[in-house]
Amino acid sequence: MWVFEELYGNIKIGFDARQIYRKKTEFQDLRIYETERFGRLLMLDGVIQTTEKDEFIYHEMLTHPLVMAHPRPQSALVIGAGDGGIVRELLKYPGMKRVVLVEIDRQVIELSEKYLPSISAGAFSDKRLEIAVEDGAKYVARTDEKFDIAVVDSPDPIGVAKVLFSKKFYSAIADVLTDDGMMIRQTGSSVLQSEEMGDNFKILEGIFPWVLPAVASIPTYIGGFFSLLAAGKGKTPLDVPFKQLNQKYEKLRIKTRYYNPEIHYAAFALPNYMRKGLK
């Protein structure tokens, strides 16, 4: 059967797919499909979240540019990300001592682990991981813990995810980051949601000493380059010299299928149409 993403009013992406699970959780309509082209696919409220085939691009680009650049990344806070892909990438670093995953919907974690096991790849049972099942905005407001890295992997600003795009939330993220902490999030398609990057850039610019947009191309997130926004207090991901980054990448032998030291810098080079959107 043909399944279409319903994120945009006047454009759709469709898959020839077989539904293998569907449940209305406390928070969202959760569906899992088997597709020819992209393997298993997680959909929440009609929006594609991740697929077995291309998830590595997104999950690598929301982690390695920060962790590889951070002087000593030992702790990370992950908001959303119930499929486990971000946590899997963060835990590839032996120096990462503690990762806290704050996911509002326990069913996403349980069903992703059951039906999309290749994405979490055992990360949920890593001793370094703590899972908090709650609203990420509430968690950052109440925790007094500090983190070196924060990754916001929420769906688009709809429903319960809306709070994760607010000034209050980003200010609270800034408060829970250490002095050289860095955060990152995706801010939608550079073509179909072009205002999302600019809007969030403006909010982050008012909170963090630096904000750096980056791009990645994720086939099942339609609309050309997907924009990412990194922000932080100390050094930026571009401050680390290539030679040093390359040596660290070689030494750590972190297995990646998209990220590499050259892409680390290239990802932050924006096409002119995106630069214009930031002026």
* 103 binds ligand SAM per the rule CB under 6 A: yes
* 79 binds ligand SAM per the rule CB under 6 A: yes
Measuring CA to CA, how many Å separate 33 from each of 4, 39, 49, 54? 11, 8, 12, 15
Told to judge if 199 belongs to the known catalytic residues of this protein, a careful annotator would answer no
* 196 binds ligand SAM per the rule CB under 6 A: no
Query: Largest Cα–Cα distance in the chain?
Result: 51
* 63 binds ligand SAM per the rule CB under 6 A: no
Q: Determine which residue in the list 33, 40, 123, 155 makes contact with ligand SAM, applying CB under 6 A.
A: 155
- Give a three-class secondary structure readout of 83-150: CCHHHHHHCCCCCCCEEEEECCCHHHHHHHHHHCHHHHCCHHHCCCEEEECCCHHHHHHHCCCCEEEE
Measuring CA to CA, how many Å separate 167 from each of 58, 76, 136, 205? 24, 21, 14, 10
* 17 binds ligand SAM per the rule CB under 6 A: no
Query: Are residues 264 and 68 in contact, defined by beta-carbon separation less than 8 angstroms?
Result: yes
Q: At which residue do the structure tokens 């070689």 appear? A: 250
From the CB of 25, what's the least distance to ligand SAM, in Å? Answer: 8
* 54 binds ligand SAM per the rule CB under 6 A: no
Nearer to ligand SAM, 177 or 245 (CB): 177
End-to-end CA, the chain: 44
Query: Are residues 233 and 179 in contact, defined by beta-carbon separation less than 8 angstroms?
Result: yes
Q: How far apart are CA 59 and CA 84, in angstroms?
A: 9
Q: Which amino acid is at 94?
A: P
Q: Determine which residue in the list 153, 187, 197, 231 makes contact with ligand SAM, applying CB under 6 A.
A: 153
* 154 binds ligand SAM per the rule CB under 6 A: yes
Q: Determine which residue in the list 51, 63, 75, 186 makes contact with ligand SAM, applying CB under 6 A.
A: 186
Query: Are residues 19 and 33 in contact, defined by beta-carbon separation less than 8 angstroms?
Result: yes
Nearer to ligand SAM, 41 or 44 (CB): 44
Q: Determine which residue in the list 5, 52, 54, 83 makes contact with ligand SAM, applying CB under 6 A.
A: 83
Output the residue with the shortest Cβ distance to ligand SAM. 80
- Choose the stretch contacting ligand SAM; rule: CB under 6 A; options: 65-73, 130-138, 142-150, 200-208: 130-138
Measuring CA to CA, how many Å separate 180 from each of 51, 131, 191, 200, 233? 33, 24, 32, 21, 5
* 135 binds ligand SAM per the rule CB under 6 A: yes
Query: Are residues 215 and 227 in contact, defined by beta-carbon separation less than 8 angstroms?
Result: yes
Which residue in 83, 105, 153, 156 is the catalytic one?
153
Q: Which amino acid is at 240?
A: V
Listed residue (203, 193, 212) closest to 267, CA to CA: 212
* 102 binds ligand SAM per the rule CB under 6 A: yes
From the CB of 70, what's the least distance to ligand SAM, in Å? Answer: 22
* 81 binds ligand SAM per the rule CB under 6 A: yes
- Choose the stretch contacting ligand SAM; rule: CB under 6 A; options: 9-17, 103-111, 143-151, 262-270: 103-111
- Choose the stretch contacting ligand SAM; rule: CB under 6 A; options: 121-129, 160-168, 176-184, 255-263: 160-168
Would you please indicate which residues are annotated as catalytic (active-site) residues?
153
Please report, as ranges, the residues that interact with ligand SAM according to CB under 6 A.
27, 44, 49-50, 58, 79-83, 102-105, 108, 135-137, 153-155, 160-161, 163-164, 186
